[in-house]
Amino acid sequence: MEQIKKLLDSKQIRPTVQRMKILKCLSEKKGHLTVDTIYEIIRKEIPTMSKTTVYNTLSSMAEVGIVVPIVITGKEARYELNTVQHHHFFCERCAKVIDIEVQCDHFCKGEINGHKINELHGYFKGVCKNCLTPEKGRKL
């Protein structure tokens, strides 16, 4: 919780209960949560919190770069804390999002063909290794 408070302080954002709870939730679940999931978790602790509040809080924290929205399916955004830049792997079967480390020369240099890079987003789509494990003798 201290770390989360420091993070908000560093961006000069008031550590409200809502913000703290949402960030705590993202940090404990290691990110990749949809607004719905976060809302479900937080509602248990703060029944008065609306889904709109969760959504608005996430949007404003994304603007200042505390959280990062990940949009892969186009249907929904998932959020994670802004940490080291990485790619994602999206499983088309179980809809799981997995962190993938990236080594990107362009990103390290901070520019590409003379264009300045601020953020890096990339993802792979496929079937995760859990889903690849043959079940009940079914061959893939």
Q: Which residues of the chain form contacts with Zn ion (CB under 5 A)?
A: 80, 91, 93-94, 99, 128, 131
CB-based contact 28:22 (threshold 8 Å): no
Please report how close the Cβ of residue 86 comes to Zn ion at its closest, in angstroms. 6
Nearer to Zn ion, 49 or 78 (CB): 78
Nearer to Zn ion, 93 or 106 (CB): 93
Retrieve residue 58's tokens: 């996430």
Amino acid at 100: I
Please report how close the Cβ of residue 139 comes to Zn ion at its closest, in angstroms. 17
Q: How far is CA 52 from CA 58, 59, 93, 133, in A?
A: 10, 10, 29, 39
Nearer to Zn ion, 94 or 120 (CB): 94
Please report how close the Cβ of residue 34 comes to Zn ion at its closest, in angstroms. 13
